[in-house]
Amino acid sequence: MNIAIRRPTLGPDATAFLAKEHKILIDGKWVAAQSGQTFAVEDPATQEVIGHVPAGDKADIDLAVKAARRAFESGPWARMTPRDRSRLVWKLGDLLEQHADELAELEALDNGKPVTNARKDDVQGSIDMFHYMAGWSTRLNGETITVSKSDGNWHAYTLREPVGVVGQIIPWNFPLMMAAWKLAPALAAGCTIVLKPAEQTPLSALRFGELIVEAGFPAGVVNIVTGFGETAGAALSEHPDVDKVAFTGSTEVGKLIVKAAAGNLKRVSLELGGKSPAIVFPDADLDVAIAGTADAIFYNQGQCCTAGSRLFAHKSIYDKVVEGVAAEAKKVRIGHGLDPKVNLGPLVSKEQHDRVTGFLESGRKEGAEVVTGGKVHGNQGYFVEPTVLAKTNRDMRVVRNEIFGPVVCVQAYDDDDLDAVAKFANDTEYGLQASIWTRNLKVAHLLARKIKAGTICINTHNFGDPAWPFGGYKQSGWGREMGKEVMEHYTEVKSVAAKLV
Ligand code: NAP
Ligand code: MG
């Protein structure tokens, strides 16, 4: 099909930002990469170049880490009261809110995602994250400890201290929100940061950096270095003066991060891939389950680590579910993310487009039935049709691997025993999320206990809330982000014992 994709007009603020010469943020100053190199940023819907950003590498990471170390050890940030830190974190949330429409436009342009989703989810989620995490600054207490076996008089207690200089490496699927998930708790805890955005989507992080400076964070507290994973990312994860690295991205790179971190045994947290099951029981409200499981996979073009990519429907309702999800797929309006009527944009890059179309080809070869979709959309940009693959089974590549595109693999099941259901849900190396669709509360909560995943959704999918801990079992990661749990990532516990002599 020959479909011309035109870029809708941007608002004046996003236009002004795009026209700038982009720099990286080190020690409170906007600078070029030491090498002077830049790389192009592309609109994935039109394949037009929309800007160039510095290709930061080891030299820039070294400078950024030095600045972060200085800001951590001395100066206003190190002395700041929790109350004042909390105020700054809250203020950054307010600034995001003031610039929400501009940020949503930049996100839609750079990543391809629908601008309406960018505004209500990515940008709003980031605002909410800062406002929620601001509260933690003033609540990071140690404990007094009653010693258990030591004679005499003791005063024993713990202190909770910021972990130090943190390297944060984030992906392209939710560029601004991933920056917010990482920055907000680390700042609330009093850490200093070097952030490396994904090469495909650096723009919103750079605009965010301007707001960080405007909010009044002292120089060096947040440093933002755009660049490639193999150079800037690798330098950050192996840096001997970085105390902790927080990573979101592929499981493959997650394993590289672990190896790189071994040099100085820096703390590591990982939020990696998934192949999440959505399980529809015969008693489910099928209207809710069909709309919900379709959204679980087509939302954000399927580029969600939690995407409901393995759909299990009981055989008594299998045909209805397959037809229903296919009908939802056909309703999807594909186009440029900046068009407010669009609800499915392009994939983020040519690499991702090739990956997803490769999986479509392999699914066909392995005997999956293409109920709807299965093709690229148009001849420009990285669009792929929302696709339903039926008659899939556990051995197919499309079922085993994270596709990271709008492609759902449906399987029928005929077991009523919950252990059997949990067994096929758990038949994956991942364990990030699962959704259970039923009206039977006992079934829902018993199955929730049997599934090996960090997050379980009942009659919904892709749920998220700043107060709700999020992370993976198995190869989906280490540790939990958000909620109270994330503070474990960004603090160390120090135990003090005094003998009262
Ligand atoms: P990726 O390579 O894991 O990228 C994530 C981040 O890690 C990016 O900032 C990347 O930089 C950086 N990176 C890459 N190699 C590195 C290294 N050796 N050391 C340190 N940092 C490094 O993911 P991708 O290549 O963009 O996507 C590949 C697949 O990963 C996707 O198809 C999908 O299956 C999965 N993925 C999962 C998530 C998730 O949220 N769980 C998010 C994105 C992708 P560059 O941008 O320069 O590569
Ligand atoms: Mg990569």
Q: Check pocket membership of 171 for ligand 1, CB cut-off 6 A.
A: yes
Tell whether 247 and 312 lie within a shared domain: no
Tell whether 94 and 180 lie within a shared domain: yes
Q: Which residue is it, tokens 């580029």?
A: 303
Q: What is the CATH number of the domain that holds 261?
A: 3.40.605.10
The answer as to whether 128 is a domain residue is yes
- The SS3 of residue 428 is coil
Catalytic residues: 271, 305
What is the pTM for the complete model shown? 0.98
The per-residue pLDDT for 6 is 85
Tokens of 285: 């409200």
Q: Check pocket membership of 275 for ligand 1, CB cut-off 6 A.
A: no
The per-residue pLDDT for 484 is 96
Tell whether 281 and 400 lie within a shared domain: yes
Tokens of 293: 């499981």
First CA to last CA across the chain, in angstroms? 85
Tell whether 268 and 281 lie within a shared domain: no
Q: Check pocket membership of 234 for ligand 1, CB cut-off 6 A.
A: yes
The answer as to whether 2 is a domain residue is no
260 CA: nearest ligand 1 atom: 19
Tell whether 485 and 437 lie within a shared domain: no
> Kind of pairing, strands 310-314 and 407-413?
parallel
Q: Check pocket membership of 175 for ligand 1, CB cut-off 6 A.
A: no
Return the ligand number nearest the Cα of 352.
1
Q: Check pocket membership of 355 for ligand 1, CB cut-off 6 A.
A: yes
Return the ligand number nearest the Cα of 348.
1
Q: Edge-to-edge, what's the strand order for the sheet holding 477-478?
A: 29-31, 24-26, 222-224, 192-196, 165-169, 244-248, 267-271, 477-478
The answer as to whether 470 is a domain residue is no
What backbone torsions phi and psi does residue 191 show, to the nearest 5 degrees? Answer: -80, 170
Of residues 310, 353, 306, 308, the one with CA closest to residue 112? 353
Tell whether 166 and 24 lie within a shared domain: yes
The per-residue pLDDT for 262 is 98
Q: Check pocket membership of 58 for ligand 1, CB cut-off 6 A.
A: no
- The best mutation among 39, 250, 433 to test binding of ligand 1, ranked by most ligand atoms within 8 Å of the C-beta, falls on 250
> Cα of 471 to ligand 2 centre, how many Å?
21
The per-residue pLDDT for 3 is 62
Question: What is the rounded distance in angstroms from the CA atom of residue 120 to the CA atom of residue 100?
Answer: 9
Tell whether 101 and 169 lie within a shared domain: yes
Q: Check pocket membership of 404 for ligand 1, CB cut-off 6 A.
A: yes
Q: What is the CATH number of the domain that holds 359?
A: 3.40.309.10
DSSP letters spanning 367-429: T-EEEE--SB-SSSSS-B--EEEES--TTSHHHHS---SSEEEEEEE----HHHHHHHHT-SS
The total number of structural domains that make up the chain: 2
The answer as to whether 76 is a domain residue is yes
Tokens of 60: 């820039």
Strand partners, 156: 145, 497
Would you give per-residue pLDDT tens digits along the chain (501 residues)? 556 688 999 999 999 999 999 999 999 999 999 999 999 999 999 999 999 999 999 999 999 999 999 999 999 999 999 999 999 999 999 999 999 999 999 999 999 999 999 999 999 999 999 999 999 999 999 999 999 999 999 999 999 999 999 999 999 999 999 999 999 999 999 999 999 999 999 999 999 999 999 999 999 999 999 999 999 999 999 999 999 999 999 999 999 999 999 999 999 999 999 999 999 999 999 999 999 999 999 999 999 999 999 999 999 999 999 999 999 999 999 999 999 999 999 999 999 999 999 999 999 999 999 999 999 999 999 999 999 999 999 999 999 999 999 999 999 999 889 999 999 999 999 999 999 999 999 999 999 999 999 999 999 999 999 999 999 999 999 999 999 999 999 999 999 999 999
Tell whether 131 and 165 lie within a shared domain: yes
Tokens of 451: 């599934």
Tell whether 24 and 134 lie within a shared domain: yes
Report the Cα 326 to chain-centroid distance in Å. Answer: 27
The answer as to whether 229 is a domain residue is yes
253 CA: nearest ligand 1 atom: 3
348 CA: nearest ligand 1 atom: 26
Question: What is the rounded distance in angstroms from the CA atom of residue 258 to the CA atom of residue 261?
Answer: 5
480 and 490 Cβ atoms separated by less than 8 Å: no
The answer as to whether 501 is a domain residue is no
If you take atom 13 of ligand 1, which residue's CA is the nearest one?
229
Question: What is the rounded distance in angstroms from the CA atom of residue 43 to the CA atom of residue 18?
Answer: 12
The per-residue pLDDT for 184 is 98
The residue range of the domain holding 157 is 12-272+478-495
Q: Check pocket membership of 354 for ligand 1, CB cut-off 6 A.
A: no
The per-residue pLDDT for 124 is 98
The answer as to whether 5 is a domain residue is no
If you take atom 10 of ligand 1, which residue's CA is the nearest one?
229
Tell whether 59 and 153 lie within a shared domain: yes
> Cα of 172 to ligand 1 centre, how many Å?
8
> Cα of 193 to ligand 2 centre, how many Å?
21
- The best mutation among 113, 253, 303 to test binding of ligand 1, ranked by most ligand atoms within 8 Å of the C-beta, falls on 253
